[in-house]
Amino acid sequence: MDNDRRMTVTNSAQETEELGFRVGTFLKNGGAVTVCLYGDLGAGKTTFVKGFAAAFGVAAREIGSASFVIVAEYETVPPFYHIDLYRLPDEPCMEDIGLWEYIESGGVAVVEWAEKLGEAPDGAVSVKFEYMGEDKRRISFEGFDGIGWDKFVKDPGGK
């Protein structure tokens, strides 16, 4: 693991959701940003997005409720986009989904299965989820340097 990756460990889905809420609250007022989420099925990405979305006033139950939806757009201020590339083929798809348009709209886009974008967009931040045990996940952050990641990670579980 890259030493510059900042990480924390959560011990329940609720903790991951709360972490998502803190990150969402923090990024909401920081201008257009893409948040790339990486990790296997069941690693906790959608759980994190539920908390993140709550920071925009979007109810957790709306998140991921229709599994066939690739881009869910919420008319919040700023606009919030939840993009889930799970069902797309493993080919770079950044152009296909029109990600640039979302970014240029000044919104905040959170992308699950960001591996499939090909390359992360300029200025994107990333969050990586790893399964450590039934209720335990390691969650690490990149790209938050200079924007104070420690503000939302309650208990940095190491560097």
Question: Which chain residues interact with ligand ADP by CB under 6 A?
Answer: 10-13, 15-16, 39, 41-47, 112, 129, 135-137
Contacts of 61 (CB under 8 A, 6+ apart): none
We find the least distance from the C-beta atom of residue 84 to Mg ion, in angstroms, to be: 6
Nearer to ligand ADP, 112 or 142 (CB): 112
Residue 68 identity (one-letter amino acid): F
Three-state SS for 71?
A: strand
Q: Which residues bind Mg ion (CB under 5 A)?
A: 45-46, 112
Three-state SS for 3?
A: coil
Name the binder of 31 from Mg ion, ligand ADP, none, CB < 5-8 A by kind.
Answer: none
Residue nearest to Mg ion (CB): 46
Name the binder of 44 from ligand ADP, Mg ion, none, CB < 5-8 A by kind.
Answer: ligand ADP
Three-state SS for 108?
A: strand
Residue nearest to ligand ADP (CB): 44
Which of 66, 29, 59, 43 has the alpha carbon at shortest distance from 127? 43
